[in-house]
Amino acid sequence: MTVRSYPKPASALVVVLLTGELGPIAWSQQGTGRSELRAFYTAPPVIPHELVDERDTGTCLVCHQSVVELEERVSVRTPHPEFTNCLQCHLRSVTPGWMTPKPSVETAWQGLEEPTTGGRAHALAPPTIPHRLFLRDRCRVCHGLDHPNEAMRTPHPERWSCRQCHLAGAPEF
């Protein structure tokens, strides 16, 4: 008989941090691209992996406060660490093994698409920002040199005042 000890989550997390191993955490089969994780543009992205701790949402920040490499995965840093109730907005897309996944949901929903680029006033102008800035106004979180996706990194990291040149190109509300 296998019975989980109680309490689990904190100890599981300690193991992760000490050993650097995620253990048997399931990952989503679908991609982790921007639009694949969102129901529509401006929706909070879903979580592409099983939750380490379903109850204590503060544990998310253990990996997502900075860029952490675990096995072959690299975590993405949150652009709004001041909000700590992460699971308020971010839904898991992988349920724990004991749950039966929901068969696909029949829906005619078509969400707003992601803007592709911010556009430029002319060929030599700096590109405008293609996304809204609410909750996403810390430019270096996603455009710093430590972002896992090279295409996201700024080509001129020595410049610190991003919005001196890059104007908001998406409507702000």
Partner 1 sequence: MSTRSRREFILESAKLAALACLAQGAGRGVADAQLPDGLQWHKAPCRFCGTGCGVLVGVRNGRVVGVQGDRDCSVNKGLLCAKGYHAGAVLYGGDRLTRPLIRRNGELEPATWDEAVDVIARRIMEDPSRFSIYGSGQWTIPEGYTAMKFFKGGCSSNHLDPNARLCMASAVVGFLTTFGVDEPSGCYDDFDVCDTVITWGNNWAEMHPVLFSRIIDRRGRGETVEYIDLSTRRTRSTEAADQHMVFVPHTDLAIANCLAHELLAAGTYDQDFVANHVRFKANDGADISVDGYKAFLDDYTPEKVSELSGLSVAQLKHLADVFADPDRKVLSLWCMGMNQHTRGTWINNLVYNLHLLSGKFGKPGSTAFSLTGQPSACGTCREVGTLAHALPGGRLVANEEHRKEVEDHWNAKPGAISAQPGLHAVALFKALTAGDITGMWVQVTNPAQTMPNLHANVDGATDRFLVVSDIYPTVTTQIADVVLPSALWVEKNGLFGNSERRTQQWFKLVAPPGGARDDVWQMLAVARRMYDLGFEGMRDRDGNFLMSIKDDDGNAIEAWKWDVYNSVNVDRLIFEDYRPLTLKKHKDVAPYDELTKVAGLRWPVVQGESGEWVETRRRFVEGEDPYVEEGKGIQFYMAQAGDDRAIVWARPYEPPPELPDEEYPFWLATGRVLEHWHTGTMTGRVKELARAMPHAYVEVHGNDARTLGLKDGDRVRVISRRGEVELPAVVDGRGVPQPGSVFVPFFDERLLVNRVTLDEFCPMSKQPDYKKCAVRLEKV
The residues binding partner 1 (CB under 8 A) are 1-9, 39-44, 46, 54-58, 81-85, 87-93, 95-102, 104-112, 134-135, 171, 173
Using the minimum distance from each CB to partner 1, give the nearer residue, 27 or 83. 83
**Distance of alpha carbon 47 from the chain centroid:** 7
CB of 104 to partner 1, least distance (A): 8
Helix (H) or strand (E) holding 142, with range, is helix 139-143
CB of 172 to partner 1, least distance (A): 8
Using the minimum distance from each CB to partner 1, give the nearer residue, 9 or 148. 9
Using the minimum distance from each CB to partner 1, give the nearer residue, 19 or 88. 88
Residue type (1 letter), 69: E
- Residue 141 DSSP class: H
Tokens 């078509």 locate to 110
Bridge partner list, 92: 47
In whole angstroms, what is the distance from residue 63 CA to residue 140 CA? 17
Count Cβ atoms below 10 Å from residue 77 Cβ, excluding itself.
Answer: 20
CB of 145 to partner 1, least distance (A): 26
CB of 58 to partner 1, least distance (A): 6
Using the minimum distance from each CB to partner 1, give the nearer residue, 100 or 164. 100
